[in-house]
Chain A
Amino acid sequence: MSEEEEEDSDKVRRSATNSAASAPPFSDQVLENVLETVLQFISSPRDRNACSLVCRSWNRTESLTRQHLVVGNLYSVDPTRAVTRFPCIQSLSLKGRPRFADFGLFPPGWGAGFTAWAKALVDGLCAGLVKKLVLKRVTVSNSDLDLIGQRLPNFSELTLICCDGFGTPGLGALVENCKQLCVLDLIDSDIEDDNADDQALVDWISKFPKTHNCLESLSFECVPYPVNLGSLESLVARSTNLCRLRVNPHISIGQLCRLMLRAPQLTHLGTGVFCSPMNEDEEVEVEEVEAVFGSMKALICLSGFRDLKAELLPAIYPVCGQLTSLNMSYTEISAEQLKPLIRHCHNLQIFWALDTIGDEGLKAVASTCKDLRELRVFPLDPTEESEGSVSDLGLIYISEGCRKLQSILYFCQRMTNAAVISMSVNCPDLTIFRLCIMGRHKPDHSTGDPMDEGFSAIVMNCKKLRRLAVSGLLTDQAFGQFGKYGKTIRTLSIAFGGDSDLALKHVLEGCCNLQKLEIRDSPFGDAGLLAGIGHFYNMRFVWLNSCRLTVRGCREVARSLPHMVVEVIGDPFIGSPKLEDDEPVDKLYMYRSLAGPRDDAPQFVKIL
């Protein structure tokens, strides 16, 4: 590789010296200049990846001009190598653990630390250019945050989703040093101080310099500690560009109103709680809150409501008509409480709620929110024996009323094939269909049939389907349909489904665009796994939990595919998993990597 590079650079030098003699520039160089200019307009990572595969010079040019780097699995490449190949990146997006880690299926200490990447960024050529970091399911330490704040001079946007490993010291260090910080979004992250008594907590809000006024977005809903209200108020007041503010539950509604009055330009608001505080002297009335909301002319996204005093709900009526996104998924409201609210929300595109709204509530949503694109209905009682307040009826209402639906996540206990088929027919734009029938192996509750027909209909009729999560009683036949028709599926989640290896085989052989496969508690063994050997290199990861794999099968995969990192994850309390051929494998996580097996694997992880 180096020889050819030298040749190229020789050519460039020669052309440079010759240019004075008015000879036409070498076509190579012209092409590269043109390419650079053209590539500026190409931003999608997939397109960029495609460009980089054309030829060597395209690869080089693309690498030099790439501004946004997305690494779907941070173990798939060595950080230094990534940063060296793309020296001009301005933004980096990393994902660490796979989604199942959110549900306790990954033992703590498994990995996905950010430190190596932080070091690579600050030491790399891109250090002066990097502005934005988006991390998902990554463990970030306080010193990582400190490093970023101090050594990346142009850093301005940090988004941490489902991350952990840091606390208020890291936040304090970041905001103190990062002069241009304009986005600090901490979403669903586990933030914990090692020593959490009040004296040791860092008052990170106060660490924003008094001159700092460029903040555009601040989300700290998941920070479990109180913040200095005075500092927050003054920060909000001087940040005239602030358009997104999401506070934590330590801020009372009265305090929130005062913040809102300082920032009438807000477009996104997270209320934290929505009730009166314990201390009497801060109590507010509906009219007062309503008046404040009435002044928020730009508000389009509302969330929070973690502790709702129902009488205060009418206070948000003034903004309902302008909302495009409403997240009430932390609060129990009934259909009766929802109806007067949702009646005004005719512009709503995203709606998240608890199933306490019931089928009636969903009917109300369906009759008003004709523009709905995304719906998520979470269970109040997330256990298998729960009553479940929404059912197939709710799904039918939504399918009939919200024809533009693109994404749905629906937790229920009772479902029918007919309802799912109805959705598949009425909502052809569906790209994400996630149905979780909470009781294991539940069939269609009215016919007793497996849920094959319904899910098959989704795969057949929704031509844009990218993400599918299945549940309920499913036979191999259903998976056959997935394999046959699910050509656009990129992410597939299976739980307690299928009868045999055949199901897995169908999926691995049929779903040619499959990138992410997560399976739990399904009767799939080595034979099924091995059926995917021809496809695994195209995938980001495969995760199998409590299926019927043995070490022999996993080893076979590792042997056939040298670039796959095949991790057998054991129990940290038991120690290293045994690796005799016939040993069952409870957790298998495998992914393609250019970096080879990682060196930070803990003792309970064995890489075959």
Chain B
Amino acid sequence: MEGEGPRLLDLISKERDWVDKEVCKGKNRFEEKLELRLGLPGEETEKEEKQSAKSVFSLSFPENVAKKAFLGTAEAKEGKGTEREASGVHLVAHGTRNANSSIANNSSQTRNSNAPVVGWPPIRSFRKNLGSSSISKSPLDTQDASLVNSNRADINKKGLFVKINMDGIPIGRKINLKAYGGYDELASAVDQLFRGVLAAQRDSLVSEIEKSVGEEKQDIKVLLDGSGKYTLVYEDEEGDRVLVGDVPWRMFISTAKRLRVLKTSDLSVSYINTASRKRAATEC
């Protein structure tokens, strides 16, 4: 049995040399441009015909293969032309096989070659439908990923969202200025927002029970008059940092682009002055 193997292969390779590769190549490249993405139907069809004509149990390998190797490529040249135009998306590779194959009860044998095959290509189901883009997908050609919207407020129907960062907390949040009627409401909202986060950061190793007790005591007290531990400032269109609370509320909403909660000790005198200068400017 083993001895037969190499001999068969030798036979095959000799047969193949008969084929005029040059001609084949030229033809292929030309038709490659016309080709609709799948394999050469003519070649395949011829092979299938030869094969299914013989009994399934036939062991006459040499004759079978040698003939096909030659006939397959020779006839492919004629086969290709006609086959290509006929089919739509899927080339007719299995048409003849279906006709000649055994009892056609089995659904797979009678499978129409135009129909996609189950499980091919072999991709698991959760990898499919990746092409259906999600809402937040950005165009693929933005290379210089300029920091979009980093300092601008997002105005939409729902409200006026501005970014707010707090000293010592790496991830900021966004708050909707329109949701508040005035500075007091804003201050208390900011207080709420960051209190929990601060507490959590400090007490990450402490058990939950202790944490809930401690929470009431920690009041970050963001005050607008500069007397608390933290102070709220905002950045306007020009990028200046201004103390929150000096201008009328509605003016504040229209000019504030970004908020920051800074440690009062970090504030310099110049900040406090800026607000009064701006107020003076608008009043004139």
Contacts and interface: CB of A to CB of B under 8 A. Distances in A.
- Chains A and B form a bound pair: yes
Interface of A: 100, 102-105, 162, 188, 210, 222, 233-234, 237-238, 254, 257-258, 261-262, 275-276, 278, 280-289, 291-292, 307-311, 313-314, 329-334, 336-337, 340, 354, 356, 378-385, 411, 413, 436, 438-443, 445-448, 472-473, 475-477, 480-481, 483-484, 495-496, 499-502, 506, 509-510, 520-521, 523, 525-527, 545-546, 548, 550, 571, 578, 582-586
Interface string B48-82: 10010000111101001100110000000000000
Interface in B79-134: 89-90, 93, 97, 101-103, 105-109, 111, 116-128, 130-131, 133-134
Contacts of A380: 130-131
A310 B102 contact: no
Given A210-B208, A384-B90, A313 B145 contact: yes
6 contacts: A333-B140, A384-B121, A473-B40, A483-B5, A571-B107, A582-B102
B142 A233 contact: no
B38 A441 contact: yes
B145 A314 contact: yes
A74 B230 CA distance: 63
Contact of B51 (A337, A473, A499): A499
Given A285-B163, A356-B140, A330 B130 contact: yes
B131 A381 contact: yes
B217 interface: no
Contact of A448 (B12, B28, B65, B175): B28
B107 A288 contact: no
Given A288-B170, A550-B102, A586-B107, 19 more contacts: A103-B119, A104-B118, A104-B119, A237-B204, A254-B173, A280-B161, A285-B163, A307-B137, A309-B138, A310-B137, A332-B140, A337-B140, A380-B131, A447-B25, A448-B27, A500-B65, A502-B65, A548-B101, A586-B106
B158 interface: yes
Contacts of A237: 200, 204-205
B236 to A, nearest CB: 19
A280 B103 contact: no
Q: Which of B5, B154, B208 has the most CB of A within 10 A?
A: B5
Majority SS at the chain B contact face: loop
Interface string B181-211: 0000000000000000000110011011000
A525 B145 contact: no
B136 A291 contact: no
A265 to B, nearest CB: 13
Nearest to B58: A527
A548 B148 contact: no
Interface of B: 1-2, 5-6, 8-9, 12-13, 16, 21, 24-25, 27-29, 32, 36-40, 43-44, 47-48, 51, 56-59, 61, 64-65, 68-69, 89-90, 93, 97, 101-103, 105-109, 111, 116-128, 130-131, 133-138, 140-143, 145-148, 150, 154, 156, 158-159, 161, 163, 170-176, 200-201, 204-205, 207-208
A360 to B, nearest CB: 13
B123 A103 contact: yes
B121 A309 contact: no
B37 A385 contact: yes
Contacts of A502: 8, 61, 64-65
Q: Which of A261, A340, A413 has the most CB of B within 10 A?
A: A261
Contacts of B102: 548, 550, 582, 584
B106 A448 contact: no
B199 to A, nearest CB: 12
A283 B174 contact: yes
B51 A523 contact: yes
Given A281-B174, A441-B44, A448 B24 contact: yes
Contact of A233 (B127, B172, B200): B200
Contacts of B29: 446, 448
A308 B207 contact: no
Contacts of B143: 336-337, 340
Contact of A282 (B135, B137, B173): B173
Nearest to B113: A440
Contact of A583 (B89, B103, B124): B103
B39 A548 contact: no
A548 B2 contact: no
Contact of B1 (A210, A436, A509, A571): A509
A103 B118 contact: yes
B5 A506 contact: yes
Nearest 9 interchain pairs by C-beta = A441-B39, A103-B119, A448-B28, A382-B123, A546-B108, A525-B56, A584-B106, A439-B38, A275-B136
A241 to B, nearest CB: 14
Contact of A443 (B40, B68, B117, B119): B40
A257 to B, nearest CB: 5
B105 to A, nearest CB: 7
A287 B165 CA distance: 12
Nearest to B12: A477
A604 B103 CA distance: 19
Contacts of A477: 9, 12-13, 16
A280 B130 contact: no
Contacts of A291: 170
A309 B136 contact: yes
A409 to B, nearest CB: 10
A473 B143 CA distance: 39
Contact of A384 (B28, B116, B130, B136): B116
A292 B171 contact: yes
A313 B147 CA distance: 11
Contact of A311 (B68, B90, B116, B147): B147
A440 B133 CA distance: 28
Given A104-B118, A234-B208, A442-B39, A382 B141 contact: no
Nearest to A263: B204
A71 B140 CA distance: 46
B174 A500 contact: no
Contact of A281 (B9, B12, B47, B175): B175
B103 A582 contact: yes
Nearest to A314: B145
Contact of B56 (A278, A282, A442, A526): A526
B261 to A, nearest CB: 15
A117 B40 CA distance: 49
B45 to A, nearest CB: 11
B282 to A, nearest CB: 29
Nearest to A495: B120
Nearest to A383: B116
A385 B40 contact: no
B147 A285 contact: yes
A331 B127 CA distance: 10
A440 B65 CA distance: 21
Nearest to A574: B107
Nearest to A276: B136
B171 A480 contact: no
Contact of A586 (B90, B108, B208): B108
A446 B33 CA distance: 11
B3 to A, nearest CB: 11
A605 B170 CA distance: 58
Contact of B89 (A356, A385, A441): A385
A336 B142 CA distance: 8
Contact of A257 (B51, B97, B140, B171): B171
